Amino acid sequence: MTPKESVSRGATPGADRSDDSYLPEHGNGGYRVLHYDLDLDYRVVSNRLAGRADIIAVAGQPLSRFTLDLGQFRVQDVRVDGRPAKYLHRPDKLQIKPERPIGVGDTFRVNIRYAGKPVPIAGRWGNLGWEELTDGVLVASQPNGSPSWFPCDDQPGAKATFRVAVTTSSPYAVLVTGDPVLRRRGAGSTTWVYERREPTSPYLMSVQIGRYEVVDLAVGGVVQRVALPPALRRNVAHDFGRHGEIMSALQRLFGPYPFREYVVVVADDELDDPVEAQGMAVFGRNHVDGRRTHERLVVHELAHQWFGNSLTVADWRHIWLNEGFATYAEWLWSGVCGEGPADALAAHWYAWVAARPADVIVADPGVDRMFDPLVYKRGALTVHAVRKRIGDESFFALLRAWVAEHRHATVTTEQFRSHAQRFAREPLDGLFADWLDSPALPPLPR
C-alpha cells in the first residue's frame, strides 16, 4: 500500500483547511496544538536545516488523519504517540494517518524529523519565513511563512506555547522569540534554547541568526535589549536612545507590557519594512541612520506587542485591529514627546486618505488589500474617531480594558465594537458603520 493510499482512506473532511476567511489553505482543522518543542541544527554556510518537532495537540473531532503545514523539506520520520505513522508530504502540506484513529478530546503527540535547505514561502506578499541574509538568517513569517522552518498549524488564532533549541556555528548569535533558558557551547557550535510560555501564533515565532552583539536598550523596568552589527553601534544607540521612554509611555497608555522582555534585532542587510514577532522586532540597517528618521516605526513595532501579539486577530480580515492601533500609537507618542498632537497627525493622514480612491472596507479589505496603507491609516483614524466621540478619559480606559481582558487571546472586529460600546454614552453603531463598513470616507472627527 503506497503512502498516498494509506493517507487518503478514511480521511477526516476539512482536516487540511482552516477557518480563516482569507487564507483557508493555511492552517488545519480537527485539532488544536497546545505546545511545540523544536530542536533545530542549522549550518549557515550551506543553508541546511535539520529539525525535530515534538507537537502536543488535542483533537476537536475524531481523527483518522490530519494535516500540518510544512514547506520544502524532506520528511524522514513521523510518529503519533510513539508509533510509526503513514504520511504524505505534498507542497506545503504534511498529511498524516496515525496507526490508530484519535478520539475526540484526546491529547496526542506528533514527532516529525525533517531536513533540507529552508526556503521562504512565496506568495502575493513576496517571500516570507526563513530567509538567508548576507551572513545569517532572518525569519519574518506574517502572515503565512511559518511552514518555511517548522511543521505547524499555520493560522493566526492557533496559539500555542513553544520551546525552541537552535544549534549553529559559535561565531553566530541566535535570537529566538522567547525567554532565554540555556546556552551550551560545544566543539565549534553553540546551542541556544528559548521558551515561549505565553500562547503564541506560529507566524509570530522567529529566529534571527547573525554576528550580533547584544546590549541593553534601557535600564530598569522591562528588559529591553538590542542585537546589532558592531559597525552600527553608534547609530543604533542614538536612534533607539528614547526606547525606555517609549516603553514607559506605551505602558501608561495601554497597560503593562505583556511579555517578560523585548528584543530588537538590527540586521546587517536592508529590509523593506521592519517586522514584529512575539517579544521582538526586526529592523534593517537602512532603518538606522543616526537621525531618528524612523522612530515612528520603532513605536509602531513596539505597539504590536499589545495589538497583534498579545491580542492576536482570530482571522486575517480583522487585520486593522493590529495595524490601525499600532499606527495610532505612533500618533500618541508624537504627542507625548512634543512633536505634534494626535489631532494634527489625524488631520494630515485624513488628507492623505482623502486624496486616494475610496475603495477599501477597513473591516474586510480582502486578502489582496489586507496590508494596504489605507487599512493602516483609516484604521488609525477609526480609533481616533472613537476617541473624539467618547472623550479621553473613557477612551484610554477602553484601551487598557481591551488589552487586559483579551491578554494572550484572539480578537475580532465584532468584539471590539461591543467592547467600545461599554465606554460610550451614546450608540457607536453609526460611527463604526461609517469608518469600518463603508469605503466612503466620513468627515474628519473633531
Active site residue 195: no
**Pairing relationship of beta strands 136-140 and 207-210 according to DSSP bridges:** antiparallel
Residue ranges of E strands in 134-212: 136-140, 160-169, 173-176, 179-185, 189-200, 207-210
Which contiguous run of DSSP H or E holds residue 249? helix 243-254
Which contiguous run of DSSP H or E holds residue 321? helix 320-336
Task: From 112, 56, 102, 51, select the one nearest 79 (Cα to Cα).
Answer: 112
**Pairing relationship of beta strands 275-277 and 261-266 according to DSSP bridges:** unpaired
**Pairing relationship of beta strands 280-283 and 223-228 according to DSSP bridges:** unpaired
**Pairing relationship of beta strands 31-43 and 48-59 according to DSSP bridges:** antiparallel
Q: Is 304 annotated as a binding residue?
A: yes
Rounded distance between C-alpha atoms, residue 17 and residue 68, angstroms: 10
Q: Write down the catalytic residue from 203, 212, 328, 376.
A: 376
Q: Is 406 annotated as a binding residue?
A: no
Rounded distance between C-alpha atoms, residue 38 and residue 372, angstroms: 34
How distant is the alpha carbon of residue 415 from its chain centre? 20
Q: Is 25 annotated as a binding residue?
A: no
- Note whether 123 and 71 are within 8 A (CB): no
Active site residue 262: no
The secondary structure of 404-426, three-state, reads HHCCCEEECHHHHHHHHHCCCCC
Rounded distance between C-alpha atoms, residue 238 and residue 245, angstroms: 13
Sequence-distant (6+) residues with CB within 8 A of 223 are 260, 261, 262
Q: Write down the catalytic residue from 194, 301, 328, 350.
A: 301
Grid coordinates representing 366? 480582502
Query: Look-up: residue for cell 529566529?
Result: 207
**Binding site as annotated, residues for Zn(2+):** 300, 304, 323
What positions carry a catalytic annotation?
A: 301, 376
